[in-house]
Chains A and B, each alone.
Chain A
Amino acid sequence: MSKSKEKPYGPALAKLMSEKTKVLSQAQAFAQMGLAQTAQPLWQTAGSLEERIAPRLDAIGRNREAAVHRISAATCYRNAGEFSMATNLFQAALAGPLNDASRADVQRLLEECLGELTTSLSSRAAVAV
């Protein structure tokens, strides 16, 4: 969709994005500081907020931004250890209007995430046995 068809965010979406940025910047900072356990629930919350933001961006004609927020949601869930959710969102992002470089990045991230999902499922199965 062309830039001219994009609508402004509106106050509700702007507030949601601001809330997400606060949580996501906390998660990133704690992760960088090596505080993975503190960051974990924040990644989960940020992922959930990004998931809510993406379709709202689609609805106002900002499809490319929506795809980026799906990548962000997937990354957050992956960092939270929620590999199934992350995989679905990386796949959803690939259905969006990404440039070649981003598409290649997301394909790689998806493959890595599928590997992590497989490992996670195998270790759960081993524990169950």
Chain B
Amino acid sequence: MRLLRQNIERLEGWYPNLFLEPHLVAAVTVLSEYSGSPATVDVRGENIAQLAANENELQLDLSWQQAAEAKAERLRATMQRKPLVELAATAVALMVAHRLLDLGEVDVTAYGERADFRAVRRRCVLEISGTEVAAEFDRRHREKVAQAVTNPFGWDAYVVVILFSAKGHRLRISRHEYREESDE
């Protein structure tokens, strides 16, 4: 199985136009509750052209420095759990997107309650979600796919859903074509 090693603190350098400090601290906050650094995430790719046929399952090792844990402690004390998990999921998803998809610069738009990420130099959007409830993992992925294939840009979509769990963190990344029939 292919192994990806990644230091969480490098995230901001890859996306200089995004404000990601709380996201990476949130990732350390959530991951450090389950294990010390590095944390292992089982990654499953579906329909990802950048992955060879025998490379659809990968292992991602996420590491962080001890200094990040002090910030994580403060964030844990001040944030509610659901948004904390969403911020953490965004950090991990953007890391995987950078390593596997090479999306380049990402633009963010506000759309109702949610944030939409999309690549600037490629015609694709990125839908991200995270949960700590194993039973929700596949359902959340289905919901995100349904949302992604009718995205307002009319572009193809990558969906990344992450499960943070004591039984093992899991990440599912999949690519989906835009559904043309939903056009006017």
The answer to whether the Cβ of A126 comes within 8 Å of any Cβ in the partner chain is no
**Stretch from B49-57, B147-155, B162-170 contacting the other chain:** B147-155
Q: Please tell me if the beta carbons of A72 and B110 are within 8 angstroms of each other in the complex.
A: yes
A50 nearest in chain B by CB position: B109
Contact digits for B94-117, partner A, Cβ 8 Å, 1 yes 0 no:
000000000001111111100110
Contacting pair B23 A14 (CB below 8 A): no
- A117 at the A/B interface (Cβ < 8 Å)? no
Question: Is B38 among interface residues, defined by CB-CB distance under 8 A?
Answer: no
**Contacts A98-B152, A100-B184, A103-B184; is A34 near B18 (CB within 8 Å)?**
no
* Count of B interface residues, CB-CB < 8 Å: 34
Contacts of A101 in B (CB 8 A): 150, 152, 182
Chain A interface main SS type: helix
How far in angstroms is the closest Cβ of chain B from A113? 10
Contacts of B109 in A (CB 8 A): 24, 50, 68-69, 71-72
A108 → B minimal CB distance (Å): 8
State A24–B151 Cα separation when bound (angstroms).
19
In contact, A21 and B17 (Cβ under 8 angstroms): yes
A 46-74 to B, binary, CB cutoff 8 A, 1 in contact else 0: 10001000000000000011011101100
Known A-B contacts A34-B80, A99-B182; the reply to A28 vs B110 at CB < 8 A is yes
Q: Residue of B at shortest CB range from A96?
A: B152
**Chain B, 119-143, CB within 8 A of any chain A CB:** 120, 123
Q: A99-B182, A102-B152 are in contact. Are A68 and B111 (CB under 8 A)?
A: yes
Contacts of B152 in A (CB 8 A): 64, 67-68, 71, 98-99, 101-102, 105
Please pick, from B108, B111, B150, the residue contacting A99 in the complex, using a CB distance under 8 A.
Answer: B150
The answer to whether the Cβ of A25 comes within 8 Å of any Cβ in the partner chain is yes
Rounded to whole angstroms, the CA-CA distance of A72 and B75 in the bound complex is 28
Query: In the complex the two chains form, what is the Cα distance from A63 to B115 in whole Å?
Result: 20
Q: Top 5 closest A-B pairs, CB basis?
A: A72-B109, A101-B150, A75-B110, A102-B152, A32-B83
- B residues near A, CB below 8 A? 17-23, 75, 78-80, 83, 86-87, 105-112, 115-116, 120, 123, 150-154, 182-184
What are 5 A-B contacts with C-beta separation under 8 Å?
A: A18-B107, A22-B19, A29-B87, A68-B152, A100-B150
